[in-house]
Each structure stands twice: as C-alpha cells, then as structure tokens.
C-alpha cells in the first residue's frame, strides 16, 4: 500500500526536457539504433501511405466513375491493393521492432538500475524507502522506455500523417489546404489541454482508489475491534465519503474523456462545412471535382486521430522525463563505502580486531557512537547488551563495513580494515540477523546462499550442525521444500535455524549474530542455542545478546549505552558491580524463569532489547 502511494506521488512530478537529459535518454537507445531507425522508417512510410488511400479514392471517383472508365478503376484498385500489401508488411515491421525494442530498453534499464543498487551502500538504503527504489526499477523504467518507443512512434506517425495529408490537400487545392492547415494548431492546443485535465482527474481517482484499498484493508484486519465497538454504521458512513470522492473523480475523468473527441470533431465540422460550401460553388467552374471534395472530407475526418495521439504523448512526456531524471540520479549516486584504489585482498581476518576511537553518526549532529574503543582477541566471544538505540547494531554494521567510521580506525590484524577489499572482508564474515531474511525458493537454495559451490551433502551437513536438519527432513519435499515469499511459509524459529545453517555453510572467520527477541518454542530455542555454540567455536564472535544462556557463555560482556561502553567484563565481574548489567540481568532472569515454568505465557517480548 505504501509502495502504491509512493508510485502515485511520484507520478505527479513533471519535468521539462533539457539538453543533457535528452542526450542521456538518447544514449539509452544508441546501442539499438538500428531497431529505432527501422521502426521510424516503417512508421514514416506507413503514415505517408495512409494519405495515399484517400487520394486513390479521389482518382477512382474523378477519373474512373465520373467518366465511366472501369478499366481505370481496376488499375487504381491494383495500386490500392499493392499499397495495402506494402503497408501491412510495414505495420508488421514497426509493431515488431518498436515492441521488442521497448521490452529491450526496459530490460536494459532494469538491469542497470538493479546492478547499481547492488553496489550502493547501506546508507543509501536507509535514506530511501524500498518502495521508491522499486519504482526506479519497475515503473520508471517502463515509462522511459515507453516514451522512447511507442511515444516516439505515435508522435512520428501523427506528424507525418498530418504533413502528408496537408501536402495532398495543398496539391488538390492550395487555398483550402492552407485553411485546414491553419486550424491544426488550434486543435492540437485544445487536445493537449484536454489531455492534461484528464490526466489530473485520472490521478485523483487513482489516489482515491488507494485510499479505498487502505480503508478496506484496515477494516478487515481490525474487524474484531469494529465488531466489539459496534462501529459498523459509522464506518460505512466514513467509507461512503471516500467512495463519493472516488465517484466524483472518476466520473469527471470519464466524461472529460468522452467530451474530448466530440469537441475536436465539431470544430473540424465547421471547416468541413466551409469546404463543402466553397468547394461546391467552385465545382461549377470546374475548379473542384467531386473526388477532391470527398478527399478533403476524408482527410479532415481522419485528422482527429493523429492529433489525439500527439496530445496524449505530449501530456505524458513530462512525467516520463521526470522518471528518466530519477533513474539517472540513482545511477549517478556513488556508493558511500568503496574499495580504496590500492586495496588488498585479505588472506585471513582471524586476527585481532580493534576499534580505535571510533565516532559514528548516520545523521549530522546525532552521534551514535562516540570515541568507541574495543580490543578483541582472536577467538573471543563478545556479548553486546544494552537498551535499544544504544549503538549495538551500529558496532556490528561498522564491523561488517556496511558503514565506515566517521573518525577513528577499525583494525583487523593490525591493519586499517579499509586497506582490504570489501569482498575479502565480507566473504569471511558470517551473520545471522535478528529478523531472519529468506528468499523465495527452496530451503536448499537458501542455505546454499552461504557458499554457492557447496554440494548437497555440504548443505545437509551444515543444517545438521545448525540443528535445522530434523525439521527440514520432516517436510515432504525435504530440502526442496518451498519457503514461500520471504520465507513466510516457515515459522520464525525455523527461519532462524535456516539462517544459522546458511552461516555455518559459509565457514566464516568472524561470526556475528543479532539474537532474536521474539520467542520461539523451547525445543527450537535449544536447537538455536546449540547451532550458535557450534558457530562460535574457535571464531571471533560478536553477539547482540538477549538470552541469559548466551550472555553467560560470552568471554566478555560489553554493556553499550548512549553510544559508548557503560560496563565491560565477565558475567561474574559485572554482577558483582551491581550496576547496569545487574539490573538488566535480574529482570531478564525473572522473565525467562517465569516463561520456563509456564507462569507467564508465550507470545510475550523479553525485557532486554
């Protein structure tokens, strides 16, 4: 829903075409210029031929029927058929070329935006909602491609069609031709304004529509409350206001559309009347033939369509250009965290890790970590505890080099870690997130994400170590079981076990885990604990810990509060201090015990976050 709102909001933006933007849009087509040249040629000829059909009919009337020469009629019929045949070939050509080119440009744009998104740093993601990023890859790409293909095609057709018709009219009678030609701009201006109004109303109704969907959604989800509070009638009254607005907007959009063609038609009917009257008079002096007048009528009647197309493309063009600019802006954004030019590939990161006077903030003047220093020996397990917002996650983010310190240095093996390539660092880190993220597909694929060349038996081995094998084996399809979109067919505990297995398979040199706060059943809990232990074995580990067992097992506990270390030491040392840790610990102790003894019921969030 939020995504849809973003899309609607962005659609409203318009932008004028500037030189540089045009050059960049043109550059998108450059690799496929043959396709474009092909469809443009085909459409130009098609549009020009359209005018011939009317002219042939004039010839049939004036040279065939009126003098009674049927042979000439047949000759013209052959021309007509021939042109029809050629035109059909051309229609095939341009639909094929423009359609496939459109798909191709979309494909290219999706590819380049997606690939660039992969290279961008986490900071970019935290500043831009997923819905917006998706719009770049999907709707914006579609709109730009449409402008360059079907939009360009329609405009070209319209212009050539109007021009050739005008040329034929000028040939038949240049005075009348000029009159007709002079009303074209008026029609175009009216048409463009109409289109813009229709577009505005249409967007209004789209916005209303998304409000209606939102209201449906929350009413269904909150139906229990609605019933309990007896809100049905009031709800309906409020909903009716939304549907009333929707009615007004879509009704208006619909009747404006219905008004458009008749208006243009009626205006051209006056020109038609003038032609009939003037032409009829002139015909008495032989200056005008029946066929000529008929041709004028026909040219005028069918001129509506190109004008309509012109107006449509023009009205939408500014939105497409805004889309293009958004795409270019994305592609132009450099990744914040990048490899240094002379970065080395780290052979190992098993050594000592040191945070040296590290400062960090996501936004200016809102420091998250201040002068943070921490030295970790190889193989040590560090438990990070403390309140939400204290900076625990930031420490992990910095360690993974999702972000880099604003001040200070992080050293691995005594080297500033920015001396290493990101690939060599990150491929040696294993991470399990608090809310496990799985991808649609099989369990097998999700575990293999940790090491792509792992064999099936490697995957199974990792699952066994992580304690995930048992429940996977209980599925009918076993490792081939589909996990659903975002893994939603599995329980939270199962997702955690799979992400543990994924980390096990990666054989990381540093293990990072953000322990989940949501509760899982006791058995799964025990399995997760065992999996974690296996992973911590012999590796430097950083655990954002919530569970007592995890905390107690750590070699060192670091209490993070307000961007710095509030307390640090072993479990026993810290308990004796009777400070922050003591308070957190006793609270969590009671909570876990109550749960364990069944005094308090599951579904409740623990206190330490």
Rounded Cα distance, 558 and 584, in Å = 13
**Part in contact with other proteins (CB under 8 A); list of ranges 7-15, 102-110, 179-187, 368-376:** 102-110
- Contact between 422 and other proteins by CB under 8 A: the answer reads yes
Residues recorded for the chain: 609
- Contact between 100 and other proteins by CB under 8 A: the answer reads yes
Partners of 385 in the beta sheet? 559
Find the binder of other proteins among 52, 96, 181, 362 (CB under 8 A): 96
Rounded Cα distance, 348 and 314, in Å = 59
**Part in contact with other proteins (CB under 8 A); list of ranges 6-14, 175-183, 446-454, 466-474:** 446-454
Q: For residue 28, give the nearest of 315, 313, 314, 331 by alpha carbon.
A: 331
Specify the residue, 209 or 461, whose C-beta has the smaller distance to other proteins. Answer: 209
- Contact between 579 and other proteins by CB under 8 A: the answer reads no
Render the burial of 85-110: b for 16+ CB within 10 Å, e for the rest: eebeebeebbeebbeebbebbbebbb
Residues within window 11-50 making contact with other proteins, judged by CB under 8 A: none
Specify the residue, 33 or 439, whose C-beta has the smaller distance to other proteins. Answer: 439
- Contact between 255 and other proteins by CB under 8 A: the answer reads yes
Q: Tokens 């880190």: give the residue.
A: 429
- Contact between 523 and other proteins by CB under 8 A: the answer reads no
Cα 219 vs. chain centroid, distance in angstroms? 28
**Part in contact with other proteins (CB under 8 A); list of ranges 172-180, 261-269, 462-470, 558-566:** 261-269
Helix, strand, or coil (residue 468): coil
Residues within window 498-517 making contact with other proteins, judged by CB under 8 A: 502, 506, 512
Find the binder of other proteins among 12, 119, 336, 416 (CB under 8 A): 119
10 Å CB burial of residue 506 (0-12, 13-18, 19+) is buried
Number of residues that bind other proteins (CB under 8 A): 153
Residues within window 334-393 making contact with other proteins, judged by CB under 8 A: none
Rounded Cα distance, 85 and 93, in Å = 13
Q: For residue 410, what are the CA distances in angstroms to 358, 368, 422?
A: 7, 16, 14
- Contact between 437 and other proteins by CB under 8 A: the answer reads yes
- Contact between 305 and other proteins by CB under 8 A: the answer reads no
* Joined tokens for residue 345: 């590939």
Rounded Cα distance, 303 and 47, in Å = 12
Find the binder of other proteins among 277, 344, 379, 416 (CB under 8 A): 277
Helix, strand, or coil (residue 369): strand
Residues within window 526-565 making contact with other proteins, judged by CB under 8 A: none
Find the binder of other proteins among 18, 31, 182, 262 (CB under 8 A): 262
373 sits in the region (left: phi over 0; alpha: psi -120 to 50; else beta) called beta
**Part in contact with other proteins (CB under 8 A); list of ranges 323-331, 357-365, 367-375, 567-575:** 567-575
Find the binder of other proteins among 81, 379, 538, 579 (CB under 8 A): 81
Find the binder of other proteins among 17, 37, 171, 269 (CB under 8 A): 269
- Contact between 602 and other proteins by CB under 8 A: the answer reads yes
Q: 51: part of which helix (H) or strand (E)?
A: helix 33-59
Find the binder of other proteins among 137, 187, 307, 501 (CB under 8 A): 137
Binding mask 140-159 for other proteins (x = CB under 8 A): --------------------
Q: Tokens 């080395």: give the residue.
A: 344
How crowded is residue 485: how many other Cβ atoms within 10 Å of its Cβ? 11
Specify the residue, 15 or 252, whose C-beta has the smaller distance to other proteins. Answer: 252
Find the binder of other proteins among 285, 286, 363, 597 (CB under 8 A): 597
- Contact between 285 and other proteins by CB under 8 A: the answer reads no
Say if CB 310 and CB 153 are below 8 A apart: no
- Contact between 429 and other proteins by CB under 8 A: the answer reads yes
- Contact between 112 and other proteins by CB under 8 A: the answer reads no
Q: For residue 383, what are the CA distances in angstroms to 210, 291, 560, 567?
A: 45, 93, 10, 12
Find the binder of other proteins among 99, 367, 378, 478 (CB under 8 A): 99
* Joined tokens for residue 305: 């369509």
- Contact between 299 and other proteins by CB under 8 A: the answer reads no
- Residues 436, 440, 446, 452, CA torsion sign: negative
- Contact between 130 and other proteins by CB under 8 A: the answer reads yes
In the complex, least distance from residue 456 CB atom to other proteins, rounded to whole angstroms? 18
Residues within window 212-251 making contact with other proteins, judged by CB under 8 A: 212-236, 239-240, 243-244, 246-247, 250-251
């Amino acid at each position: 829903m939020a995504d849809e709102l973003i899309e609607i909001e962005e659609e409203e933006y318009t932008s004028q075409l500037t030189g540089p933007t045009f050059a960049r849009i043109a550059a998108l087509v450059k690799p496929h210029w043959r396709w474009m040249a092909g469809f443009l040629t085909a459409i130009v000829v098609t549009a020009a031929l359209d005018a011939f059909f009317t002219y042939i009919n004039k010839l049939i009337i004036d040279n065939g029927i009126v003098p009674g020469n049927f042979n000439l009629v047949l000759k013209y019929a052959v021309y007509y058929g021939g042109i029809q045949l050629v035109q059909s070939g051309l229609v095939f050509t341009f639909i094929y070329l423009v359609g496939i080119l459109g798909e191709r440009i979309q494909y290219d744009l999706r590819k380049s935006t997606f690939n660039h998104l992969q290279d961008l740093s986490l900071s970019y993601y935290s500043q831009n909602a997923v819905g917006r990023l998706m719009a770049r890859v999907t709707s914006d790409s579609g709109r730009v491609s449409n402008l360059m293909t079907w939009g360009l095609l329609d405009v070209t057709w319209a212009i050539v069609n109007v021009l050739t018709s005008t040329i034929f009219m000028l040939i038949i009678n240049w005075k009348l031709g000029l009159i007709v030609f002079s009303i074209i701009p008026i029609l175009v201006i009216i048409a463009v304004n109409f289109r813009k109004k229709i577009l505005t109303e249409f967007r209004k109704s789209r916005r209303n529509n998304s409000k209606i969907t939102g209201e449906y959604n929350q009413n269904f989800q909150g139906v229990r409350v609605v019933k309990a509070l007896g809100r049905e009638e009031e709800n309906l009254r409020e909903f009716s206001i939304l549907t009333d607005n929707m009615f007004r907007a879509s009704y208006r959009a619909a009747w404006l559309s219905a008004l458009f063609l008749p208006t243009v038609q009626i205006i051209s009917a006056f020109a038609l009347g003038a032609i009939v009257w003037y032409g009829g008079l002139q015909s008495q002096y032989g200056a005008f033939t029946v066929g000529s007048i008929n041709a004028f009528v026909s040219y005028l009647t069918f001129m509506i369509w190109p004008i309509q197309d012109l107006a449509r493309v023009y009205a939408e063009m500014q939105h497409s250009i805004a889309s293009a600019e958004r795409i270019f802006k994305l592609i132009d954004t450099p990744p914040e965290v990048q490899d240094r030019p002379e970065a080395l590939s780290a052979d190992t990161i098993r050594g000592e890790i040191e945070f040296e006077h590290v400062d960090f903030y996501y936004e200016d003047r809102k420091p998250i970590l201040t002068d943070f220093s921490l030295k970790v020996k190889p193989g040590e397990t560090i438990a990070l505890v403390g309140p939400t917002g204290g900076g625990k996650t930031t420490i992990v983010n910095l360690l993974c080099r999702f972000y880099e310190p604003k001040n200070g240095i992080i050293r691995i093996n005594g080297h500033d870690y920015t001396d290493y390539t990101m690939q060599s660092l990150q491929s040696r880190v294993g991470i399990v997130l608090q809310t496990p993220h799985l991808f649609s597909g099989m369990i097998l694929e999700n575990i293999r994400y940790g090491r792509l060349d792992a064999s099936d038996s490697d995957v199974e081995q990792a699952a066994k170590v992580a304690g995930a094998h048992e429940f996977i084996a209980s599925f009918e399809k076993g490792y081939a079981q589909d996990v659903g979109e975002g893994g939603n067919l599995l329980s939270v505990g199962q997702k955690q076990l799979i992400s543990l297995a994924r980390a096990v398979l990666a054989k990381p040199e540093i293990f990072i885990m953000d322990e989940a706060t949501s509760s899982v059943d006791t058995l799964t809990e025990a399995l997760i604990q065992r999996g974690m232990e296996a992973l911590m074995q012999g590796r430097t580990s950083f655990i954002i810990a919530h569970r007592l067992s995890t905390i107690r097992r750590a070699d060192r506990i670091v209490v993070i509060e307000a961007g710095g270390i509030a307390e640090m030491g072993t479990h026993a040392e810290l308990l004796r201090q009777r400070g922050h840790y003591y308070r957190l610990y006793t609270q969590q102790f009671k909570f876990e015990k109550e749960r364990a003894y069944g005094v308090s019921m599951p579904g409740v969030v623990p206190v330490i976050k």
